[in-house]
Chain A
Amino acid sequence: MNKGLIFDIRRFTVHDGPGIRTTVFFKGCPLRCQWCHNPESQVLDTEETIKTIILDNRTFRKKEIAGRWMTPNEVIQEIEKDRPFYDESHGGVTFSGGEPLMQPDFLSDLLDRIKAKGIHTVLDTSGYTSRANFLSVIDKPDLFHYDIKLINNTDHQNYTGVSNRRILENLLLLCENGKNVILRFPVIPGITDTRKNIDGVRELVIKVKDHIHEIDLLPWHGLANSKYKRFNKPNKLGKTRDLKKEDLAWISEEFGECGVKVKLGG
């Protein structure tokens, strides 16, 4: 049976789409964003880490494996546990990552099965995948959370490791097909919040505004610093300051002027 590599399934996620949701985090991502808040999700393989826990002034070391190969049924079993809460809150399941589209067959299979159960689905994606791959799932999720990071392709390559060409093409594909889309824009100090990039994103937003529901601003925070340490990965943004509400006001205004709903946070 086909299996997928999942690094976490979290229940009662309230910032990953409408209502109360369960978020399934896929492991493996083609991007290497310097600000990535889930560094443990990047490699498409299991990774061993050691967690140290202090109990009664003693240090215990607990081995943890990040990533687990799961069958669709195993994933669905977890998802179905919170059904009463999805029903009450008009919530559902969100596929996030990593990049779910890095495991297209598994994702596609899961989406079909969950749709059959009448559970609402959100696909949280970078959009970085081939046109064919993208078309194979495009009709399946009820809502897309689609990341837009940097408009200048060189910058995109520098900070995420990949070109944004496919990403922008796939976004247009979504729009052409009349899909439900929410754009997500990570606000990373000095990287994505430059005048140049905001202007670029504005231009894009103006182009697609009739096809998207809103744009969510996701401010940088230092939450992932401890994860970088634990997974022993280089953390280029470790010293970056956290953003305040005021830092986002002007961006919010700029995007709002384009005639699109802007929301702070997911």
Chain B
Amino acid sequence: MSKMINMTDRIKKLRDQSLQAINCISPERAILLTEFYQTGIDREVSVTVMRALAFEHILKNKYICINDDELIVGERGPAPKAVPTYPEICLHSMEDLEILDTRPKVSFKVDDITKLAYKEMIIPFWKGKSNRDRIMRAMTPEWIEAYHAGIFTEFQEQRAPGHTVCGGKIYNKGMLDLIEEIREAEDHLDFFNDPKAYDKAEELKAMKITANALIGYAERHAEKLSLIAKNEKKRGRKKEMEELATICRNVPAHAPETFHEALQYYWFVHLGVITEVNPWDSFNPGRLDQHLFPFYQKGLKEGTLTREKAVELLQAFWVKFNNHPSPPKVGVTAQESNTYTDFTLINLGGIKPDGMDAVNELTYLILDVIEEMRILQPGTMVQVSKLNPDAFIHRALKITKTGFGQPSYFNTDTIIKELTHQGKSLADARNGGCSGCVETGAFGTESYILTGYFNLAKVLEITMNNGKDPVTDKQISLFTGDVATFSTYEELLDAYRKQLNYFIDIKIRGNNVIEHLFATYLPVPFLSILIDDCIMRATDYNAGGARYNTNYIQGVGLGSITDSLTAIKYQVFDKHSVSMNDFLKALTTNFKGYEQLRFELIYTTPKWGNDDDYADDNARQVFEMFHSAVDGRPTVRGGTFRINMLPTTSHVYFGSVINALPNGRKAKEPLSEGISPVQGADTTGPTAVLKSAAKIDHIRTGGTLLNMKFNPSFFENDESISKIASLIRGYFRMDGHHIQFNVVSATTLRDAQKHPEKYRDLIVRVAGYSDYFNDLEADLQNEIIKRTEQATI
């Protein structure tokens, strides 16, 4: 264990409170919003001003929650883990509420008052009028069919676009300074020559309303704090609350002056963003060690801050994120969605805008906080540049070793290449990083929106069936030919390309409409204040106001599609060991009667992830096809479509809509995730996986995700940790984007004993030796399981 910092009693209490709080639905926001819309004001003012007034109405009237002994104040709902709903975006039905209340995993309690409010007020008012209803009405039959077949998902169907990260602006400017900037922008409006001048004036007016609303919201906290302070008996806490009240009066109105004010300011901004709408990936302070370092230094120098106090404040800040689970979905996804995580991803390290190493004393302090807190949210990552010291990676690896999946590792130098390749300035690129899972963005200046996962493997299934979906027996796409008549692999690939392009076109058409609907009906004037250059352009974030605008389509199942194409190429066209007809039959029967073929597919066919060009070249081909179908196409907001390769958990859903695949995968089983090899298909060791993964051109993506499993023994001492660090550095010098380590648990090892074919990649350390787990005798496997149980916490 590394040097541990002590958690104060206060933090222990706040952390426990957060861990024990029960996730529940709060009807507060929905009631306030409905109340507001019922006044009919939406017919009196412009949409954007109306949205600003709605924001103001919520912040003026919502319950102010101050938890005992808190150091950072403010809750989105009336209490920790009380989650509001957003009926103007998607409306929960009574059945949805029932599912959320009763499902065994990731449930949200729904009390009678909430049910009553929904039944009597919220549902009657919003039924058929949510943005989701608008979207579904606007989609074409082709889109609906592809969507239901599981070719792609749609991100903005239930949550608003956001996918952005706070830059450094708020640490230098208070809301009053920003209002001043808005006024200046108003002065520059040209009603004589700019036909959009009125729209812009309304947008700026709306921005001012929201900025003032946030100041007012902080003031309400100040008032409540002062009031509680009056009756507080403990003198220490009384003084603390008076100080907190002062902080809430200073920020967000003015630029923060202390470490504490900087954190409280960000937190108010965070609450503003996730109250205005339910944006994807909630919101994110981004490069936290960079933003806070000047305040940390100043506090230490002036004697107003100690290292211990800074740690306590950071820990209190961490608890706040954990108090805010992601808003639950409706419909089918209410049953499927299985995470409370709302994807805030704090970035550490990397490089500064001037190109120098950004790792500082605070970076290490925050790493200590991460290790100590061990909570689900916020997510954390380290940006590793060739300029960063080894000690930084080593410190992070010691946290990874403890097996709770944090932090993950990102390649700063590649992130900067990706961003500059997309046309961003070098300074904006260096201020960037990754958010959500692995998505690259220029922090504070870019709107980079994920629009949906795209099922690369399902497209092959449709291709193999000449445009028909064998799961539903419906013709949902083009007739690209009977594959049994194809005489070359190239013919198959060509058919696949046609199918892929067909579905990408459908997806992009849908995106263009959805984006327009958000720009028209759901502007976000508050978020627009935060992201440059919305104020200067007097244009909303959802209408292209950001300096850079990017839309992503995320490819899923690279390993599955690669191995499937490779299997056909190898077995049908090169070795002629099976005819295409028989292959199709094997897939239809889910390999029943074709067990020998399945064995050959799994055990003797080349696969992605083994540094074998025979398979890896097929991955590159699929990547290029996908890239050229998407990359460079224009978006409604004046931006560009691009690709990235990440699945979150969609590889499970996408697998569930596909019958057997040519790589030997059986019907309904999950696809491979990210750019990782198919589960268990990489049998040549981790360096081979990384070499394969580096063969696709990461720089032309906005992020790729690679997962690796390791036994804790690989992290056992400084020497082995330094070897893992070299593994990361080696991948990153080949421009790999991201890697995360899944330190395997004893449970996983037990599962590997039961299903060896799924864990052919699993390497474990045995007395000075490493070997594939599958190759060990049962008694030795058991011993390693025992050892693993002891090594992991």
Contacts and interface: CB of A to CB of B under 8 A. Distances in A.
Interface string B155-177: 00000000000000000000000
A88 B734 CA distance: 11
A31 B420 CA distance: 60
A188 to B, nearest CB: 13
A185 to B, nearest CB: 12
Main secondary structure of the interface of A (DSSP, over half): mixed
B728 to A, nearest CB: 9
A122 to B, nearest CB: 15
A245 to B, nearest CB: 10
Contacts of B723: 14, 19-20, 89
B780 A89 contact: no
A70 to B, nearest CB: 16
B727 A265 contact: no
Contact of A12 (B595, B686, B733, B756): B686
A81 B691 contact: yes
Contact of A225 (B602, B684, B777): B777
Contacts of B714: 14
Given A11-B684, A12-B687, A20-B723, A53 B771 contact: no
Interface string B755-793: 011000000001111110001110110010000000000
Contacts of B767: 219, 221, 223, 242-243, 265
Interface string A11-38: 1111100011000000000000000010
Interface string A185-212: 0000000000000000000000000000
Contact of B687 (A53, A85, A223, A243): A85
Interface string B699-734: 000000000000000100000101100110110011
Given A11-B685, A222-B780, A85 B766 contact: no
A226 interface: yes
Interface in B491-547: none
Main secondary structure of the interface of B (DSSP, over half): helix
B261 interface: no
Contacts of A265: 767-768
B599 interface: yes
A78 to B, nearest CB: 9
Interface string A82-93: 101101110100
A104 interface: no
B756 A54 contact: yes
Contact of B730 (A58, A85, A221, A222): A85
A226 B777 contact: yes
Nearest to A230: B775
A1 interface: no
A266 interface: yes
B205 interface: no
A223 B685 contact: no
Interface of B: 595-596, 598-599, 602-604, 611, 684-688, 690-691, 714, 720, 722-723, 726-727, 729-730, 733-734, 756-757, 766-771, 775-777, 779-780, 783
Among all A-B residue pairs, the 3 with the closest Cβ atoms = A89-B726, A265-B768, A221-B767
Given A20-B723, A20-B727, A88-B726, 11 more contacts: A11-B687, A12-B727, A55-B603, A84-B733, A85-B730, A88-B727, A221-B767, A221-B768, A223-B776, A242-B767, A264-B768
